[in-house]
Amino acid sequence: MNRSTGWLVLVIGAAALGAVLFIHYSRQHRLAEQAETPPAAAQQQAPAEPQVRHPIENAQAEAASSDQPLPTLTGSDAAAKDTLQGLIGAKAFSDFIEGQDLVRHLVATVDAMSRDKVARGFIPLRPLPGHFAVSGQGDQMVMDASNSRRYAPLVMVAQSVDSAKLVGAYVHLYPLFQQAYRQMGYPQDYFNDRLVETIDDLLDAPEIQGPVKLVRPKVLYQFADPDLESRSAGQKMMVRMGLQNELQIKAKLREIRSRITGRGPSQQ
């Protein structure tokens, strides 16, 4: 249920959040692949320079430049896998990561998380073992505390990632993320701005003390509180993982956001 939130944190929401914020990039290199056929929304005008609120060159990371050329966007999975395994380990990669079309899938996930829904086909994480657990019946139905244990291994992996190396690699790879974002139909927007927006939305997720009440009007469970149910897909995912996991993920997201932008949410 919470695949996209865990991924964003692994690779940022960011994140992102979260693909591969982890392949080598040097500012001296141009994009290695011409844009593929763009969506209809992007065909109306030639790509323009995006209006930038959070320039990637402001990232507070010690990103070592690389003499290696960028892979093409469609050919980036091998390099992404190698770098991700270096950051989280081969076992964690095998346990949690779906390894195909990682950059595009991460961009799509980051873009969708602050909206109503995230398409499951774009989330680059494997489903967690087990099922969403519920206690009680009728108007006494609540989210079972055991759910937090399902997410604990993924949260531990996210916490173990070196934030400086993570963001440094994201800075190196950034041209491919921007290229994928333009191909989605945002020729005048800047992916790093969208990533920061998504992180901020996740940080605004409510922190629920005590049982979280549920209803089941049809097949799927929903939050009984209309305010909770109206929240973004990412915020609802944060609540579902349990308060302690949510707080740990938020701490990591704040650290990553600070490194990406040079300031925290309250310093905008």
Inside any domain, residue 219: no
Which residue did the predictor score with more confidence, 244 or 8? Answer: 244
What is the pLDDT confidence band of residue 63, given thresholds at 50, 70 and 90? very low
Which residue in 50, 77, 88, 76 sits closest to 186, CA to CA?
Answer: 50
Rounded to an integer, what distance in angstroms lies between the CA atom of residue 173 and that of residue 157?
22
Inside any domain, residue 227: no
Task: Tell me the per-residue pLDDT of 200-225, one tens digit each, with 9 for 90 and over.
Answer: 999 999 999 999 999 999 888 999 99
Distance set, CA 122 to CA 3, 125, 199, 251 (Å)? 10, 9, 18, 25
Q: What is the pLDDT of residue 58?
A: 56
What is the pLDDT confidence band of residue 26, given thresholds at 50, 70 and 90? very low
Enclosing domain of residue 118: 3-131+146-205+233-267
Look up the pTM and report it.
0.78
What is the pLDDT confidence band of residue 125, given thresholds at 50, 70 and 90? confident
What does DSSP assign to residue 100? S
Q: What is the pLDDT of residue 243?
A: 95
Rounded to an integer, what distance in angstroms lies between the CA atom of residue 177 and that of residue 199?
16
Question: Contact 134/142 with Cβ under 8 angstroms?
Answer: yes
Inside any domain, residue 89: yes
Inside any domain, residue 167: yes
Q: Does the pLDDT at position 256 exceed 80?
A: yes
Inside any domain, residue 197: yes
Task: Tell me the per-residue pLDDT of 85-103, one tens digit each, with 9 for 90 and over.
Answer: 888 888 888 888 877 888 8
Q: Number of structural domains, the chain? A: 1
Q: Which two tokens stand for residue 64?
A: 């070592």
Inside any domain, residue 93: yes
Inside any domain, residue 245: yes
For 145, the 3-state DSSP assignment is coil
Task: Tell me the per-residue pLDDT of 131-169, one tens digit each, with 9 for 90 and over.
Answer: 888 999 888 999 998 889 988 988 999 999 999 888 887
Q: Does the pLDDT at position 64 exceed 70?
A: no
Q: Which of 116-125, 215-224, 259-268 has the lowest mean pLDDT?
A: 259-268
Average model confidence (pLDDT) for the chain? 78
Q: Which two tokens stand for residue 165?
A: 């190396």
Rounded to an integer, what distance in angstroms lies between the CA atom of residue 210 and that of residue 217?
23
